[in-house]
Amino acid sequence: MLELKLIYWARQSLRLAMVALTIWIIAAAFFAVRSNTLHPAVSPRATTVTGVFSQMFDAVLAAVALPGVLVVVLIVTVRVIQSRDVRRRDPVRRFTRQQRREGMARAGGQCEMEGGFSRRCSRPAEHGDHFYPWSKGGSTSLQNFVAACSKCNRAKGARIPSTALQERLERRRSVYALFDDAVRVGARQPLP
Ligand SMILES: [Zn+2]
């Protein structure tokens, strides 16, 4: 599903950008302090303690201004995404008994998540899980239902699954699901 690919990579990039900007800010502040201490004679050297500190403060502020603005932009973007996730939330959170029954039957009662080495977990399924997390706007539908053991259920948490996991799960499902239209996994609610 192209949509999940976009969502997943957009969020991964945001996370990476945040890490990069944090490193940039720390490094910029560090070098600003260092060059100010080593070569303070850029402007007439301050003679008082307050003067030294205010010079250093100005240097640090100038150095972190650009990454600082970018961090603010990033935080605003993340907030917008989060509020849209909340607006997408399916009013129905719990799967119906019918969905549970069909989902468990589709999985043959076995956990559909992954144990080690990208292979299917061998434990019996105990939970019906939202593949695309409910809290992030995942649908309470049979397509978004995955059968999971309690260990995989806990390990998965409310993270958006990677597209690689989605592809592997669909490939495995194409072997054990009885109907072709039961292979697809993951569904997200439209914005209201
Ligand atoms: Zn499992």
Q: How far is the CA of 148 from the centre of ligand 1 (A)?
A: 5
Round to whole Å and give the CA distance between 29 and 133. 38
Q: How far is the CA of 180 from the centre of ligand 1 (A)?
A: 23
Q: List all residues 6 or more positions away from 81 whose beta carbon is below 8 Å from its beta carbon.
A: 11, 14
pLDDT digits (tens, 9 = 90+) for 69-124: 999 999 999 999 999 999 999 999 999 999 999 999 999 999 999 988 889 999 99
Round to whole Å and give the CA distance between 94 and 129. 10
% of the chain surpassing 90 pLDDT = 67
Q: How far is the CA of 116 from the centre of ligand 1 (A)?
A: 10
Average pLDDT, integer, range 137-142: 95
Q: How far is the CA of 144 from the centre of ligand 1 (A)?
A: 17
Q: How far is the CA of 161 from the centre of ligand 1 (A)?
A: 15
Residue 5 token pair: 């690919």
Q: How far is the CA of 113 from the centre of ligand 1 (A)?
A: 5
Q: DSSP state, 181?
A: G
Q: How far is the CA of 3 from the centre of ligand 1 (A)?
A: 26
Nearest to 131 by CA among 109, 111, 108, 105: 111
Q: How far is the CA of 5 from the centre of ligand 1 (A)?
A: 24
pLDDT digits (tens, 9 = 90+) for 48-59: 888 888 888 899
User: Residue 171: which region, alpha, beta or left (left: phi > 0; alpha: psi -120 to 50)?
Assistant: alpha
